[in-house]
Amino acid sequence: MDLEAPLDCLSGGAEARHAKPSRKHSACRWEIPTRYNFPMPAAFEVRAVFKTFRHWWSRREVCALRNVSFAVQPGTIFGLLGPNGAGKTTLVKIALTIAYPDQGEIRVLGESVRNRSVLRSVGYLPENPRFPAHLTAWQVLRLYGSLSGADTKRVDANAANWLERLDLAGWRDVRVSKFSKGMNERLALAQALVHDPDFIFLDEPTDGLDPPGRREVRAICRELADQGKTIFINSHILAEIELICDRIALMKSGEIVEQGTIVELTSNQSGYELVVGVSNELRNWLHEKMLPFTAVDGHLHIHVPDRTSANSLIDALRAKNVEIDSLNVKKRTLESVFMEKVL
Ligand X SMILES: Nc1ncnc2c1ncn2[C@@H]1O[C@H](COP(=O)(O)OP(=O)(O)OP(=O)(O)O)[C@@H](O)[C@H]1O
- Is 89 near Mg ion (CB under 5 A)? yes
- Using CA atoms, how far residue 30 sits from 17, 53, 87, in Å, is 22, 16, 17
**3 state SS of 31:** coil
Q: Which is nearer to ligand X, 66 or 186 (CB)?
A: 66
DSSP 238: H
Q: Which is nearer to ligand X, 234 or 309 (CB)?
A: 234
Any idea of the CA torsion for 103, 107, 112, 115, to the nearest 10 degrees?
-110
Q: Which amino acid is at 157?
A: A
Residue 195, binding choice from ligand X, Mg ion, none, Cβ under 5 to 8 Å by partner class: none
Q: Which is nearer to Mg ion, 89 or 259 (CB)?
A: 89
With CB atoms as reference, the residue minimizing the distance to Mg ion is: 89
The least distance separating ligand X from the CB of residue 131, rounded to whole angstroms, comes to: 20
CA gap 189, 193 in Å, rounded = 6
Residues 48 to 107: which contact ligand X by CB under 6 A?
53, 62, 64, 82, 84-90
Stretch that binds Mg ion, among 124-132, 155-163, 213-221, 299-307 (CB under 5 A): 124-132
Q: Which is nearer to Mg ion, 88 or 301 (CB)?
A: 88
Contact 245, 79 (CB under 8 A): yes
CA gap 186, 122 in Å, rounded = 18
What DSSP line would sit under 300-324, residue for residue? Answer: EEEEESSHHHHHHHHHHHHHTTPPE
Q: Which is nearer to ligand X, 80 or 168 (CB)?
A: 80
Write the interaction track for ligand X spanning residues 191-220; mark x where CB under 6 A is met and - where it is not. ------------------------------
The least distance separating ligand X from the CB of residue 57, rounded to whole angstroms, comes to: 12
Stretch that binds Mg ion, among 19-27, 89-97, 220-228, 272-280 (CB under 5 A): 89-97
Stretch that binds Mg ion, among 119-127, 132-140, 261-269, 328-336 (CB under 5 A): 119-127
Which residues, 6 or more positions from 26, have their beta carbon under 8 angstroms from its beta carbon? 61, 63
Contact footprint for Mg ion (CB under 5 A): 88-89, 127
